[in-house]
Amino acid sequence: MRIALGSDHGGFELKQNVMAHLEKKQIEFKDFGCYSSDSVDYPDLAVPVANAVLSGDYDLGILICGTGIGISISANKIRGIRCALCSDTFSAHATREHNDANILAMGGRVVGTGVALDIVDAFLGAAFEGGRHQRRIEKMMALENL
C-alpha cells in the first residue's frame, strides 16, 4: 500500500507523527509537503496529493490542516476525489466501506495524536464493501457533471 501525504502548517506536526507511525508499520508513503511549520495555503497541498491518488501511483491519501476543513473542501473540488474529514474511528472505517473515500482528512488542531493514529489505522485497514454502496457512489460522482 502506498500513501500520499500532505498538510499545511496547521497540520504539519500531526503529519510528522503520522509519517513516523506509517514508517513503524512499514507502510510506504510520500510527503508532498509542506516541509516546515511556515505558513502556506492548504489548497496548494491538496492538489498534489489528489493528483498522486488519481494517477494510481498511490492507493490512498492523507491530508491535514488545522481543522481539516479547508484541505478537505479543496480536495473534494477535484474530479474523482472523495475526501472524508474524520475525527473518530467509526467514520474513518465507514467512509472506506461505504463511500470508498480515497483521501482521509484530519484536523491537526482538532484531534490529538493518539486518536489521529487510530483514525489512520481504521481508514487504511478498511475496504470498500461495494454492493448497494456502489450505486450511491455512482450517483454521488455524477454530481460532478451538474
Q: Does 123 bind ligand RB5 (CB under 6 A)?
A: no
Among the listed residues 91, 123, 115, the one whose alpha carbon sits nearest the alpha carbon of residue 14: 115
Amino acid of residue 133: H
The stretch near ligand RB5 (CB under 6 A) out of 50-58, 64-72, 93-101, 116-124 is 64-72
Amino acid of residue 75: A
Beta bridge partner(s), residue 5: 31, 62
Residue 102: phi and psi, rounded to 5, are: -105, -5
CB-CB contact of 91 with 84 (8 Å): yes
Q: Does 5 bind ligand RB5 (CB under 6 A)?
A: no
Q: Does 61 bind ligand RB5 (CB under 6 A)?
A: no
Q: Which is nearer to ligand RB5, 6 or 70 (CB)?
A: 70
Q: Does 70 bind ligand RB5 (CB under 6 A)?
A: yes
Q: Which is nearer to ligand RB5, 100 or 116 (CB)?
A: 116
Among the listed residues 120, 64, 68, the one whose alpha carbon sits nearest the alpha carbon of residue 96: 120
Binds ligand RB5 (CB under 6 A): choice among 4, 8, 45, 94: 8
Q: State the catalytic residues.
A: 65, 98
- Note the residues at the interface with ligand RB5 (CB under 6 A): 8, 10, 42, 65-67, 69-70
